[in-house]
Amino acid sequence: MPLDHYVTLGRSGLRVSPFALGAMTFGEDPGGAGCSVEESEKILATYLDLGGNFIDTANFYTNGHSERILGDWFAARPGKREHVVLASKFFTNLFPGDPNGGGAGRSSIIAQLDETLRRLRTDYLDLYWLHNWDRHTPIEETLRTLDDLVRAGKIRYIGFSNTPAWFTAQAQTTALLKGWTPLIALQVEYSLLARTVEGELAPLALDQGMALVPWSPLKNGFLSGKYRRGTQVTNSARTPFVGHPSDDEFEVIEAVATVAGELGTTSAAVSLAWLRARQGTVVPIVGARRVEHLEDNVAGLEVTLTPEHLRTLDAVSAPALNYPAPLHGALRAMLQFAGTTVDGETSGVYPPLVQSNVRY
């Protein structure tokens, strides 16, 4: 499955590549985990040459340099920008001392978008993400502002990232009831080492027809194949920031490596293939600091995991979910169906009911 075998992003008419290109690493300021302008442009060109069309950035990535690199590249190649899906995010305040420089209020959204469009050297975004929950702004204000921007042609679609499920559900319901632009996707942390999204947000997305767009699908590189128990990783710029895997994480890492060995591929490819096999539309964001990183990740599109591989990986990475998620599996089926089969789901019988056929 190559990058030019597109999928529809949620309940929309927007077609995107099965992997998005994350531009968080584009630019070398601030910090030290990014890459040069030259390498960023090589990564971008390689992704597009392979058929990719979905590029994700944010206003604060490398202090705005990520957006500028993308804007300069497309400006130098007239006609290319119109054929990609360009996404960015708002929320982060880039102006210390200004309480209205960030967040999700009307004035700040408009100002942040204007700055993003200036850096990207374009007059519209295909997708605009709320990057975090602004608990100080009414959701009606945020949604109405985003809807106004859609109607003005400055953005085309909207999505949320890193927001609670109850808040996301409230926002989607409000938008639908008021006839405003609804959410089509959720950008969330999701990987074999980060599955708590399956408690609330993933079921919400599936129910509402939203796509999931996972960030850090290799969990800070832990699932890339370079981490081994008892060894130190010295060739990763992110290691000083993210540390090393725990013993429990190594259990998952080693299971992934075993599956990769059986299939003759890489741990990164297996980890990305597992995400693609989840329910609904899942479009992982792959990041890279070098072209070869991108090429290794794209190999995940060529991997198909067997049902046995999926069961193995599901079991070893099973998350501990918060209440009430533990009550929604086998116990729910026993209490609800009492030993019958409904919609293909066969339940057991809750023990206290086994001997009871009495109707009171």
SS3 240: helix
15 near 6, Cβ under 8 Å?
yes
Domain annotation for the chain: domains and CATH numbers: 7-320 (3.20.20.100), 329-360 (no CATH)
Exposed/middle/buried for residue 206 (C-beta within 10 Å: 0-12, 13-18, 19+): middle
Catalytic-labelled residue, pool 47, 61, 128, 227: 61
Ordered per-residue pLDDT tens for the chain, 360 residues:
699 999 999 999 999 999 999 999 999 887 557 899 999 999 999 999 999 999 999 999 999 999 999 999 999 999 999 999 999 999 999 999 999 999 999 999 999 999 999 999 999 999 999 999 999 999 999 999 999 999 999 999 999 999 999 999 999 999 999 999 999 999 999 999 999 999 999 999 999 999 999 999 999 999 999 988 877 775 555 555 667 899 999 999 999 999 999 999 999 999 999 999 999 999 999 999 999 999 999 999 999 999 999 999 999 999 999 888 888 776 666 677 788 888 887 888 776 655 555 555
Q: Bridge-partner residues for 118, per DSSP? A: none
Render the burial of 59-95: b for 16+ CB within 10 Å, e for the rest: bbbbbbbbbbbbbebbeeeeeebeebbbbbbbbebee
pTM of the predicted model as reported, rounded to 2 decimal places: 0.92
Based on the residue annotation, tell me whether 61 is a catalytic residue of this protein: yes
